[in-house]
């Protein structure tokens, strides 16, 4: 698998529902207060909102309204690299049990656990799956 395949999987996983979730997130942090990993460590990178960043970056770069114009103007996130996927591998697999507590407390009704699942599909396409899975 390649990085391009992973990006294509993330793009295809960004349906209307996922796009609305990515646009609706106001980064309020309520999801973090419900997350076992964040509560135990206090490390902000374990906040569930950040676990949606791979999809958010693909959406903002390729699929969001006016993304073509913004891309031409250099106003979109950089293209994802294998380093980005490797960096997020621990966050996506090792620090999320998909318990859904973050989804339950989200005031915007975002299915954060579902978005992490969609991101995992992109990770599989990039060939980044923990050996024990």
| pLDDT (0 to 100) of residue 80 | 92
For 100-118, write each residue's pLDDT tens digit. Answer: 999 999 999 999 999 999 9
Interval 10-47: pLDDT, tens: 999 999 999 999 999 999 999 999 999 999 999 999 99
Q: Cα-flanking dihedrals φ and ψ of residue 19, to 5°?
A: -60, -40
Q: Is the pTM of this model over 0.85?
A: yes
**Cα–Cα distance between 16 and 101 in angstroms, integer?**
23
Question: Distance (Å, rounded) from C-alpha 86 to C-alpha 94?
Answer: 12
Q: Is the dihedral of CA 28, 34, 37, 40 positive or negative?
A: positive
* 6 membership: H or E segment, kind and range: helix 3-13
Band (61; pLDDT cuts 50, 70, 90): very high
Angle between helices 3-13 and 82-89 (to 10 degrees): 70
Q: What's the alpha-carbon Rg for the chain, to the nearest Å? A: 14
φ, ψ at 110 (rounded to 5°): -80, 130
Q: Which domains does the chain have, with CATH numbers?
A: 3-125 (1.10.1060.10)
Distance CA 65, CA 63 (A): 7
Q: Output the six-digit token pair for 42.
A: 């206090």
Q: How many residues does the chain have?
A: 133
Nearest to 105 by CA among 55, 30, 45, 52: 30
């Amino acid at each position: 698998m390649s990085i391009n395949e992973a990006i294509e999987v993330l793009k295809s996983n960004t349906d209307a529902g996922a796009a609305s979730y990515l646009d609706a997130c106001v980064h309020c942090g309520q999801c973090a207060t419900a997350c076992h990993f964040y509560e135990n460590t206090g490390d902000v990178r374990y906040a569930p909102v950040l676990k949606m960043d791979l999809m958010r970056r693909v959406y903002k770069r390729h699929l969001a309204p006016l993304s073509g114009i913004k891309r031409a103007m250099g106003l979109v996130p950089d293209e994802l690299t294998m380093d980005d996927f490797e960096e997020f591998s621990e966050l996506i697999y090792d620090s999320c049990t998909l318990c859904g507590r973050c989804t339950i407390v989200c005031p915007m009704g975002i299915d954060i656990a579902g978005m992490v699942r969609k991101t995992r599909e992109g990770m599989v396409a990039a060939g980044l799956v923990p050996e024990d899975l």
